[in-house]
Amino acid sequence: MRKKLKIRLMWFAVITGMISFFGLFILAGNGVFGEMPEFEQLENPNTNLATQIISSDGEILGKFYFNDNRTPITYNELPKNLVDALIATEDERFYDHPGIDVRSTLRAIAFLNTRGGASTISQQLARQLFVGVRSRNIVQAVLQKAKEWVLAIQIEKRYTKNEIIAMYLNIYDFNNTADGVRSASKIYFNKTPDSLLIEDAAMLIGMLKNSSLYNPLRRPELVIERRNVVFQQMERNKMITKKERDSLSSLPLNIDYTPESHREGLATYFRAYLQEFMNNWLRENPKEDGSRYNLYRDGLRIYTTIDSRLQSIAEQSVNDHMKNLQSEFFYQNKESEENPTPPFRDLREGQVDTLLKLSAMRSERWRKMKLKKCFSKLN
C-alpha cells in the first residue's frame, strides 16, 4: 500500500511539474508576467545605430553617436573562428534546438540555477533586446526566464540561425563604447571583424559572460584565463586540436586600443564642421513620413571627399611641425635680462574665466549634457 502511495505521489509530482512548466510558457506568452513585445518589434527590434563618416577611399573617419557606438554587420562578414568560438562556448547545440535547449534547461532546473548555464544564444538575444538584466530575486528571475523561453522560440520562427548569431553579436555591449562586434574589433584590436585572429575572436567571445568583469583594459590576466576557457571549449567541440589549444593559450592579448570618440581619430575639425552641416541638412531633408532623422541614433552613412591616407599624412606633418613651433615658443618666451616677465604668463582680467569656460565647452561631458538639453539655463 505504501509502495503504491509513493508511486502515485511521484507521478503527481511529475505531472504537476510538467503542468507548471508549460503553464509558465502560456502565462508568459499572454503577458501575465510583464508586457511582451509586439510581432513588429520582434521583426524590427529597435536599436540605436551610430552614423558613419566615410572617406573617399572607403575608410571610416569617425562616427556620430550618443550612447551606442553600434554599427551592424551581416553574418557573412563574421569570421568562422568567431562563430565557432561563440557556438562552442555559449550554445553547443545551437543548430539543433528551436530556441530552448531542453537538456541544459532540465540540468539547470535540477540544480535550481536560474541565473545562467541554460541560456541559448536565442534566449540571450531575447534578454538583451526585450527582457533586461536578470533580477536577483529568485521569483522574478524565474518569471524573466519564462519570458526569455517564449521570446526565444518566437525569434527562432522569424529569423534564420545565422541571422540570430549576427543580431546577438551586433547588440552586445563589449564595454569601452564598443557596442557590437564591429566596434569591439576596431576599439580593442584596430581591425575589422573579418581580420580577427582566432585569439582575438576568443577574447571577444569570452567577454560575453560579463564584459565589465572581463575588461581587457583593467583585468588582462583574468581576461586571458577566460579566453583560454574558450579555447578549451573549442577543443572539446573538435574545432581545434589539443596542440593548437596549448599553443594559443600561451599567447598574450595583443590589445591595440583604438578608442572611437568625437575628439579622437582623423579629421576632427572637419567632423566638427560636418556636424553643423548635417544638422542643417537633416532639417531640410526629413524622412518619408515627415519625421526628422537623428544624427546620433539612425545609423546614417555620410560619404566625404577626404582621402584618409592624405589626411593622415597631413596631420602627421602638422604634429611634427608643432613640436618645432612649441620649442620656438618656449625659447622666445623664456625669462632673460631682456625679457624678465614673459607675456604669456600674465593674463588680463577675465581671461582666466574665458579660458576655463572654453575648455569646459570643448569637453565630452559638455557635449553629452548639451545633447540632453541640460544647458538651456546656462545659455
Higher pLDDT, 199 or 133: 199
The pLDDT of residue 108: 55
Question: Which of the four CATH numbers 3.30.450.70, 1.10.3720.10, 1.10.760.10, 1.10.3810.10 does domain 25-249 have?
Answer: 1.10.3810.10
Per the structure block, which three cell numbers stand in for 322?
A: 608643432
Cβ contact 53:202 at 8 Å: no
- Nearest one of 258, 256, 269, 271 to 62, comparing CA atoms: 271
Q: Is the pLDDT of residue 338 over 50?
A: yes
d(CA 181, CA 173): 8
Cβ contact 124:135 at 8 Å: no
For all residues of the chain together, what is the average pLDDT? Answer: 81
Share of the chain above pLDDT 90, in %: 38
The pLDDT of residue 375: 46
Which residues, including other chains, have CB under 8 Å from residue 35's CB and lie 6 or more apart?
none
Q: Is the pLDDT of residue 193 over 90?
A: yes
The pLDDT of residue 253: 94
71-85, 141-155, 334-348 — most confident range: 71-85
The pLDDT of residue 114: 45
Cβ contact 57:171 at 8 Å: no
The pLDDT of residue 152: 86
The pLDDT of residue 67: 74
DSSP structure class, residue 322 = H
Q: Is the pLDDT of residue 263 over 60?
A: yes
DSSP H helices in the chain? 2-29, 39-43, 80-90, 102-110, 121-126, 138-158, 161-171, 181-189, 198-207, 220-236, 242-249, 268-284, 308-333, 351-361, 364-371
Per-residue pLDDT reduced to its tens digit, 136-185: 677 666 677 777 888 888 889 889 999 999 999 999 999 998 999 999 99
The pLDDT of residue 50: 87
**Where do the domains of the chain lie?**
25-249
Higher pLDDT, 309 or 30: 309
The pLDDT of residue 327: 77
User: Which conformational region is residue 117 in: left (phi greater than 0), alpha (psi within -120 to 50 degrees), or beta?
Assistant: left
Among 131-140, 165-174, 262-271, the minimum mean pLDDT is found in 131-140
| Mean pLDDT, residues 284-289 | 90
Q: Is the pLDDT of residue 107 over 70?
A: no
Residue type, 179: D
- Nearest one of 48, 40, 137, 128 to 90, comparing CA atoms: 128
Among 32-46, 88-102, 285-299, 336-350, the minimum mean pLDDT is found in 32-46
Model-level pTM? 0.68
